[in-house]
Structure 1
Amino acid sequence: MSLPHHGRFDYVPITRRQDFTWPGGKRLAVYFGINLEHFSFGEGRGAQLVPKGNEPDVLNYAWRDYGNRVGAWRLIETFDALDLPATVLANSTMYDHAPELMAAHRDRGDEIAGHGRTNAERQDTMSEPEERAMIAEATEVLTRAEGRAPGGWLSPWIAESFVTPDLLAEAGYRYTLNWCMDDQPIWMRTRAGPLLSIPYPQEVNDIPSVVARTDTADTFAAMILDDFEERLAQSREQSLVMGIALHPYIVGQPYRLRALRRVLERIAGACEEVWITRAGDIAAECHGPLRDTIA
């Protein structure tokens, strides 16, 4: 029996890969993906603190906007104190909704990657022309604001159509964070040439953990720490990537931030043996020195 296949990459077990190292001879690359998201009021999708009622859904909308008004700023303070870089996954409407927040991340030197227009919509419900236009619109906003085109993309809700990788490559993107099937970057096939897939977590991610599984702040923090320690041990034999996905309206809540900070301190303290970086820097290594080494 032959099942339908995406055709984007072949099966290559992680035990059968060429060896490589990250800059400085390091074996574990760690990046933080901070999701900055804006939602439509009175319509569209969004994570829910409580079951959605009739529109306008003030409670859930306001809870999400707490991240932009408060939580993201507390997260910046924490990252500044620990001298940690970040990859910001930004809805393009954030530039109108919270321009000061986007400017603060720009001033830090954080990478700004594409994350659609708004998390109130999904790409998998769009026709190909609609999706192409949406990607172009979001890309143009980020390019105009940052002075350069974004190199990476994370779809709102990790929702893809059958042609999303093709459209991203055609739009000039160098990497995608949509696929969570590996612990190393791999090359994906598209009709416009190779597109790099960088691991983006669906386990060490506060939405599945806190919202879906209702994990406590301490449980989520312990999950990140155990994941880090295990990957650090595994990476002594094979270079790996660890992504940590954060949403300020979730981890920016004070009690969750306090638990998270303890883990961030441990990771920051390992900077001599771990490459703490941005997703775009990982992509640059894979497109450059490691191009023929990555699976």
Structure 2
Amino acid sequence: MNTFPAIPASGRFGYSAIHQRPDFSWPEGKRLAVYIGLNLEHFAFGEGLGAGIGPASPQPDVLNYSWREYGNRVGAWRCLELFDQLCLPTAALINTALIDHCPELLQAVVERGDELVGHGHSNSWRQSDYSEEQEAALLAGCRDRITQLQGKPPAGWLSPWISESRATPDLLAETGYSYNLNWCHDDQPTRMHTRSGQALWSIPYPQELNDIPMVMGRHLDACAFADLVIDNFDEMLQQSQGQSLVMGIALHPYIVGQPYRLRHLRRALQHIAAARDAGSIWVTTPGQICAHMQGLRGPHGTAA
């Protein structure tokens, strides 16, 4: 007889072993979907949160603030040049504060045809610290500002610092978002339960193929990070022969936009682009992945 108390669960999805699921394919029979998530972020001066290249100093922390701002002034533009050279689409995960701070950068992303994904107003604050009313206002406000910028509402959301309240998936569905990037629990999309019954997809977002935890947290150098991306890609390409998978790459231009790191990122993305040119993979965006899942029939999709 089990005498242990039940372990709290999220309630957003049940357990599913990856080898026990119905099979499906991506467009044109592809088995591996690859996307780039380019985090475009703006931080408050003299207060709030932010990644650091050095120990935090008393505010105003000029060292770490200006290092992050390099990403908007230089690093992001160098990344976009690289993506253009390799004909790679991206999902731009944007803080809406950038619309006022550096509209030229966001206009360049829109003109490229990249997908815009809501990423809060600023990464200076965690979404999970808000009340439900404040969080709902944040989601709606970012939706409206992105709609004004690109002429259509965003389909997806990534919370600043991957911070959620207990109600975040419910609020996302109720505000009109179709997918959530906060969860890194799987290599395939997962349909999440919401209190309204509205569909919300969890699209895999990486915490390993992500320059903040790998470069800033584990102190990998740029060469090792590029090797990590290539090795992960090669292994997932092999695994995808058995079932369709998603591989995301999360980048922050104040990190990978530094010239010596960009040189190694170029090597990794050239490797992926070569596989795309050979017809082996689907290079896409999380919004297109979500739309494909919504169009599938049967256990995987939402179509009847």
TM-score (norm 1): 0.98
Secondary structure at 2:18 match in 1: coil
Amino acid paired to 2:204: P
Structure 1 residue 51, shift from structure 2 partner = 1.1
**What does the per-residue CA deviation read over 1:254-285, in whole Å, with 9 as the maximum and x for residues that have no partner?**
00000010010010011111000011100110
State how far apart, in whole Å, the 1-side matches of 2:162 and 2:150 are: 24
Structure 1 residue 5, shift from structure 2 partner = 1.0
Secondary structure at 2:124 match in 1: coil
**What does the per-residue CA deviation read over 1:96-142, in whole Å, with 9 as the maximum and x for residues that have no partner?**
11100101011110000100000001111111111111111111111
Q: Which residue of 1 aligns with 2:69?
A: 65
Q: Which residue of 1 aligns with 2:124?
A: 120
Q: Which residue of 2 aligns with 1:283?
A: 290
Structure 1 unpaired stretches of 5+? none
Q: Does 1:158 align with 2:162?
A: yes
Q: Which residue of 2 aligns with 1:168?
A: 172
Q: Which residue of 1 aligns with 2:91?
A: 87
Q: Does 1:260 align with 2:297?
A: no
State how far apart, in whole Å, the 2-side matches of 1:25 and 1:290 are: 16
Q: Which residue of 1 aligns with 2:200?
A: 195
Structure 1 residue 292, shift from structure 2 partner = 3.6
State how far apart, in whole Å, the 2-side matches of 1:276 and 1:69 are: 27
Secondary structure at 1:41 match in 2: coil
Secondary structure at 2:250 match in 1: strand
State how far apart, in whole Å, the 1-side matches of 2:299 and 2:110 are: 32
Q: Which residue of 2 aligns with 1:246?
A: 251
CA contact (8 A) 1:18 1:294 kept: no
Aligned pair count reads: 295
Of 120, 132, 144, which aligns to 1:140? 144
State how far apart, in whole Å, the 2-side matches of 1:259 and 1:31 are: 18
Q: Does 1:52 align with 2:56?
A: yes
State how far apart, in whole Å, the 1-side matches of 2:257 and 2:142 are: 25
Structure 1 residue 191, shift from structure 2 partner = 1.2
Structure 1 vs Structure 2 CA RMSD: 1.0
**What does the per-residue CA deviation read over 1:50-76, in whole Å, with 9 as the maximum and x for residues that have no partner?**
111111000000000000000000000
CA contact (8 A) 1:20 1:290 kept: no
**What does the per-residue CA deviation read over 1:32-61, in whole Å, with 9 as the maximum and x for residues that have no partner?**
000000000000000011111111000000
State how far apart, in whole Å, the 2-side matches of 1:83 and 1:119 are: 29
State how far apart, in whole Å, the 2-side matches of 1:144 and 1:100 are: 15
Comparing 172-181 with 130-139, greater Cα deviation is found at: 130-139
CA contact (8 A) 2:294 2:301 kept: no
Structure 1 residue 194, shift from structure 2 partner = 2.2
Q: Does 1:234 align with 2:234?
A: no
Q: Does 1:205 align with 2:210?
A: yes
State how far apart, in whole Å, the 1-side matches of 2:247 and 2:301 are: 16
TM-score (norm 2): 0.95
CA contact (8 A) 1:29 1:274 kept: yes
Q: Does 1:26 align with 2:30?
A: yes
**What does the per-residue CA deviation read over 1:227-274, in whole Å, with 9 as the maximum and x for residues that have no partner?**
000000000111000000000000000000000100100100111110
State how far apart, in whole Å, the 2-side matches of 1:254 and 1:80 are: 17
State how far apart, in whole Å, the 2-side matches of 1:256 and 1:93 are: 26
CA contact (8 A) 2:203 2:286 kept: yes
State how far apart, in whole Å, the 1-side matches of 2:229 and 2:209 are: 6
Q: Does 1:221 align with 2:198?
A: no
Of 15, 20, 32, which aligns to 2:19? 15
Secondary structure at 1:135 match in 2: helix
Structure 1 residue 291, shift from structure 2 partner = 6.3
Distance 1:49 1:255, change over 3 A: same
Secondary structure at 2:275 match in 1: coil
- Identity in percent: 57
State how far apart, in whole Å, the 1-side matches of 2:78 and 2:104 are: 14
Secondary structure at 2:117 match in 1: strand
